[in-house]
Structure 1
């Protein structure tokens, strides 16, 4: 059984990964001392990270870790300021860099990093949607350096919009659900609703990560693999589907909200990443077998 060090283990994706994969992998959940581990503790081993590289060194020195799945991230709520900037740097840059540096002394077979389509906002090359996206790209660049200097295989999985039951993150489907439960006094102002969404259920996301681990020997270092849906949908169309399934009318006012930052109209796809990022070690994709998650390794 492989031993996996998992970051972001108390988050939406991390906690689902643990509960779905604890019988397949020995999972060491890296958490802050203040983290609430109630939901995951029965299914994994808890290891505390206090922000120092020394705490990571101790974990690697006392465990034979086969690979790292790096899900930890801090996502800004709006324009970043004050403590948000510090949190972005700590979660999106410092933690991952400390782990990679520790791998120089205690090598693992693989390091799977997570990217966001926010790094390619309305463009076929790097164009950050916000500071969160910029920090994700900055860590990608750091990974390129370590991929050239470590024996560890470093690969990247790019995620789009994820959803699932009991999602606490305030995503659009959860927001609409809450609107039906507690109708507002006036309709919620929305964008024009013409932007295309790429939605993947959490179960398929976890299947994709598990499959990447099982297939790690045929994945390529410094390559970006995507977990993208084959059935993208416009926001307005999604609202119609939601209303049909809920048998209720959503209190939405499309076109009433103007934003200083344009919405991402079309998420980047693997084909565009292939062309634009080849110079950075090759783009890539995990090709579809049972949509919406992607299955078979393909060389860049």
Structure 2
């Protein structure tokens, strides 16, 4: 039996993720706010570019979304032209957007009224992870729906797990972003210190990466940080959106995030430097700028 999957949102993440589904032999239909992007995708992969969400979700077994933020999710899921109204009863809805836990809970409740299980499933791994099918996926939703959806998500995942009910995936992604923010700032300060101390920074990284200081960021970003290259990876604008979600949720659950709040401000400095689309590792440029001023 052929599985029909619809993918809504063909940005730098959704485009290759939908491609993995097509390459795996699923019947794939796609929709994107800019229809030309959907047509481009359909020329590259075996699938159908649809002009409306209603057409895209018709007959779908699974509907995946990967859009911008809460307001975009509400727009594509709710209303007469949205996913919930037009997808079949029983279709499993999977959202890969990094958004608030509140909107996941809201959409889960709305979808349940049409017997459509909803899974919030934000991803980590960036554009490279999406292109290579090596994403980490953190899920929140019903056990039975997750069991059915897992083999489908496996086509673009390196690791995935069910973390709890609706909203749990988004909260786990917040933990991920909080950890990354502190790590990148720490790595930036370490490399900046090595530069100022006139050490061979590449040799320093080679040595300390074999010990307790090792991290994914060090292994994958230290070289480009040293070279001052940031036109790749996860953009500062996106990180600020994510950290804003983290800080808002922290206020709700009464969690103290002083380092996260500080790093969020530092990313604001990077934005003012013209680095809105730079990779998150560009925090080091802020230190270099202040060194010269």
Scaled to the shorter chain, the TM-score interval is 0.3 to 0.5
Q: Quick check: which one's helix share is greater? A: 2
TM-score after normalising by structure 1? 0.47
TM-score after normalising by structure 2? 0.48
Q: Which has the higher contact order (CA 8 A, sep 6+)?
A: 1
